């Protein structure tokens, strides 16, 4: 049990690693709680990135060195932003919040507590934690690097050697500190990551919408994801990490912070977290950047925005692909099959299987409520097309993916579709907040 506490406590080093960047003046309009959550996300990306680079260089992992490298990188990024006049005017002053205004924060806290209870009782445990996330983390921690022989072992058919490294890296980092991989504690990453989302999101959304609406939307997102995390048995796998990166990145991109270099760099780090958390994060990042440039092209310097948004992902993926190619584990994502090998005749079968999956086990309600909030929103702006467009791209590409392969895809869809689409309700909720005030410049 002691090792489990130490394993979880080690993640407190992530906001420490990211804090030098979040101490920059460009982020002072976010609340302190929000900056802690954002520092956690930035620190996770920087720490994992260095783990991959050291593995590529053949240098063994040492936790103290990894934290020092992440801290130094965050500090250098902060210095790189210093010339910008990023201390933005404050958002419109609002009256002191009353009990009803604060009630969404209580709902978010209750949701996190409920998910903690479900995760601790093992009712939300992900089978994937047992099948590959946990075993890979154990192997990497024991080897003190990305364990190439383990990934190349032909007898380990379910290890997904091409999966991007962030989740496994961070689990291995905690395992090195704790001395062992505590399976029970690993399931608690679900409520822990929901708590980080509950910290980061309200302050980010409050720049794009009135505070009470931002708090309500954040609470709805946390409650929705908490319900889906339990219903879909997600505790311990990579999806909660993906949620944090994707949802906070979208929240930044629809708000005024996305017009500054500081905001674009932070969004770029979050996008890098998404692309290195799970395979579908790459499509998300490409869609998010393309739609951001489309809907906000008149307000930004496109060249600078492209560099800040895409450079972190480019470096992260280049390090990962270089490692796997040099070690001859895989080349790109080629194992997912030929892109144009599509069985269009299965489209009715795929759509019906997705429909059954959503209507079973009460999974539809978490999607319908945010959709209703979006449709009933009293005012809208063009910025809603960023989260809505990303949702459409992810949904359509998932259907396209299910049309590949051989055999009946119904079982595959049943256990994967809910997880793949799980961030979409959060995107709809963010879209419901989008207003033209999101475009006001920051200085």
Residues 265-290 have a mean pLDDT of 96
What is the pLDDT, as a whole number, of residue 88? 45
pLDDT band (50, 70, 90) for residue 179: very high
> Which tokens is 329 given?
């584990």
Residues 294-318 have a mean pLDDT of 94
Separation CA 263–CA 251 (nearest Å): 11
How many angstroms separate the Cα of 138 from the Cα of each of 237, 249, 387? 14, 30, 36
Q: What backbone phi and psi angles, to 5 degrees, belong to 125?
A: -65, 135
Cα–chain-centroid distance for residue 296? 22
Portion of the chain with pLDDT greater than 70, in percent: 89
Separation CA 374–CA 26 (nearest Å): 30
What is the pLDDT, as a whole number, of residue 288? 97
What is the pLDDT, as a whole number, of residue 440? 43
Separation CA 400–CA 341 (nearest Å): 10
What is the pLDDT, as a whole number, of residue 394? 92
Highest mean pLDDT of the ranges 5-9, 89-93, 324-328: 5-9
Residue 95 has pLDDT above 80, yes or no: no
What is the pLDDT, as a whole number, of residue 87? 42
Residues 418-439 have a mean pLDDT of 81
What is the pLDDT, as a whole number, of residue 97? 63
For residue 8, the tally of other CB atoms under 10 A from its CB is 17
Residues 76-84 have a mean pLDDT of 83
Separation CA 422–CA 393 (nearest Å): 14
Lowest mean pLDDT among 252-256, 300-304, 357-361: 357-361
Residue 439 has pLDDT above 50, yes or no: no
User: Furthest-apart CA pair in the chain: how many Å?
Assistant: 62
């Amino acid at each position: 049990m002691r090792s489990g506490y130490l394993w979880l406590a080690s993640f407190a080093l992530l906001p420490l690693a990211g804090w030098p960047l979040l101490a920059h003046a460009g982020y002072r309009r976010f609340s302190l709680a929000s900056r802690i959550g954002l520092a956690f996300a930035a620190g996770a990306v920087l720490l994992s990135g260095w783990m991959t680079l050291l593995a590529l260089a053949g240098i063994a992992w040492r936790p103290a060195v990894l934290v020092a490298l992440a801290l130094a990188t965050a500090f250098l990024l902060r210095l790189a932003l210093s010339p910008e006049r990023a201390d933005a005017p404050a958002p419109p002053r609002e009256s002191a919040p009353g009990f009803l205004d604060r009630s969404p924060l209580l709902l978010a806290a209750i949701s996190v507590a409920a998910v903690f209870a479900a995760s601790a009782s093992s009712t939300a445990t992900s089978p994937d934690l047992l099948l590959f996330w946990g075993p890979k983390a154990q192997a990497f921690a024991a080897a003190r690097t990305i364990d190439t022989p383990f990934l190349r072992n032909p007898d380990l058919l379910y290890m997904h050697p091409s999966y991007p490294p962030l989740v496994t890296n961070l689990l291995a980092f905690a395992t090195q500190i704790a001395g062992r991989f505590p399976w029970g504690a690993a399931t608690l990453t679900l409520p822990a990551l929901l708590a980080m989302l509950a910290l980061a999101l309200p302050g980010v959304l409050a720049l794009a919408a009135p505070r009470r609406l931002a708090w309500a939307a954040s609470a709805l997102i946390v409650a929705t994801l908490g319900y889906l995390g339990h219903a879909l048995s997600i505790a311990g796998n990579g999806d909660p990490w993906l949620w944090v990166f994707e949802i906070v990145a979208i929240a930044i991109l629809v708000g005024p912070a996305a017009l500054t270099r500081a905001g674009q760099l932070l969004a770029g780090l979050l996008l890098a977290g998404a692309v290195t958390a799970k395979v579908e994060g790459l499509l998300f990042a490409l869609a998010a950047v393309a739609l951001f440039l489309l809907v906000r092209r008149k307000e930004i310097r496109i060249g600078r925005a492209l560099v800040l948004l895409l450079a972190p992902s480019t470096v992260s993926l280049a390090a990962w692909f270089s490692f796997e190619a040099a070690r001859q584990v895989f080349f790109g994502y080629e194992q997912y099959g030929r892109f144009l090998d599509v069985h269009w005749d299965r489209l009715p079968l795929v759509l019906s299987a997705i429909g059954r999956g959503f209507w079973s086990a009460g999974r539809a309600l978490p999607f319908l409520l945010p959709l209703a909030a979006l449709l009933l929103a009293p005012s809208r702006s063009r910025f809603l097309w960023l989260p809505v467009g990303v949702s459409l791209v992810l949904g359509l590409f998932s259907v396209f993916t299910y049309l590949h392969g051989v055999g009946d895809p119904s079982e595959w869809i049943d256990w994967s579709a809910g997880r793949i689409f799980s961030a979409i309700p959060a995107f709809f909720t963010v879209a419901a907040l989008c207003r033209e005030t999101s475009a006001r410049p920051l200085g």
